[in-house]
Amino acid sequence: TYILQNADLVRKETAHLHIDDRGYYFGDGIYEVIRVYEGVPFAKEAHLNRLEESSAKIDMTLPYSGQELIDLLDKLIAANELVNGLVYLQVTRGIEPRNHLYTKNCKPVLTAFTQPLPKKAAAPSAAVHVWLTDDIRWLRCDIKTINLLGNIIAKKEAADQQCQEAIMQRDGFITEGSSSNLFLVKDKVLYTHPATNLILNGITRQVVIDLAKQNGYEVVEEPFPVDVLEHADEAFLTSTTMEIAAISQIKGQLSTSYVPGPVTKDLQEKFRQLLPQK
């Protein structure tokens, strides 16, 4: 398989990383994960806009324009003959001898690879169990940084408890999942944390909010306290890789369970209809 190193397609086995890449020393970089359905990258403009925003937020200039990035992704997808799967794309600040302070000369480095995945939306996977834990992350969760230690610690805690995902709370309010956004449904109204500095504004989250509104659902973007989980009718997660995943059980700081309900199922079906069909 091929990966992209800047604008070059390189065989993965022969690719080399530079030891002085700031991504390696500091996690000084940003990334995107874009789903590919039937060879077509899904919501690519939204992902590339968010990459551009993340880049601006860390005082970095992307090495390629939006159109150049689209062309590079197409080249990678074609080289790997990817039909259904994902593209992972990261940009680190560049290569310099290790020093917290970077210089103007640092040239960002792009790396991208593809990974095949089953087309899940065709048949939504079983409902997931989630683990409720503290949100120990920093205060710029809106930046899609490759620095993911807080998320990794939460995910491992969840896995140790036989849960597929961790959901997190900060000061008693639910923020999001370790690699997903959380929605609750009560009396057909959707509730999710607003897109502030405390969460990553997921592209799937945005697609689902638009879909829900177009289909007559009310969507409330407000922080809600942990105990609201116990009163919801339905709960689901959204992410590029999980798409829309119903939650059947919450464990950890609070225990409750849900039966995957009509609103989740309706949105899963509407989401499926957005995807390129064979």
Residues that bind ligand PLP (CB under 6 A): 33, 151, 176, 179-181, 200, 202-205, 238-240
For the question of residue 24 being annotated catalytic, the response is no
Minimum distance of ligand PLP from residue 81's CB (angstroms): 24
Instruction: State the CB neighbour count (10 A cutoff) for residue 30.
Output: 27
Number of continuous H segments (helices) and E segments (strands) in the chain: 6, 15
The nearer residue to ligand PLP, 80 or 238, going by C-beta atoms, is: 238
Q: Which of 96, 165, 176, 243 is catalytic?
A: 176
The nearer residue to ligand PLP, 133 or 240, going by C-beta atoms, is: 240
Helix 262-274 with 203-214: angle, nearest 10 deg: 110
Residue with smallest beta-carbon separation from ligand PLP: 202
DSSP string, 175-224: EEESSSEEEEEETTEEEE--SSTTS---HHHHHHHHHHHHTT--EEE---
Minimum distance of ligand PLP from residue 235's CB (angstroms): 15
For the question of residue 200 being annotated catalytic, the response is yes
For the question of residue 213 being annotated catalytic, the response is no
Q: Alpha-carbon distance 77 to 40, whole Å? A: 9
The nearer residue to ligand PLP, 96 or 176, going by C-beta atoms, is: 176
**Contact between residue 36 and residue 73 where contact means Cβ atoms under 8 Å apart:** no
The nearer residue to ligand PLP, 96 or 193, going by C-beta atoms, is: 193
What residues act catalytically?
31, 144, 176, 200
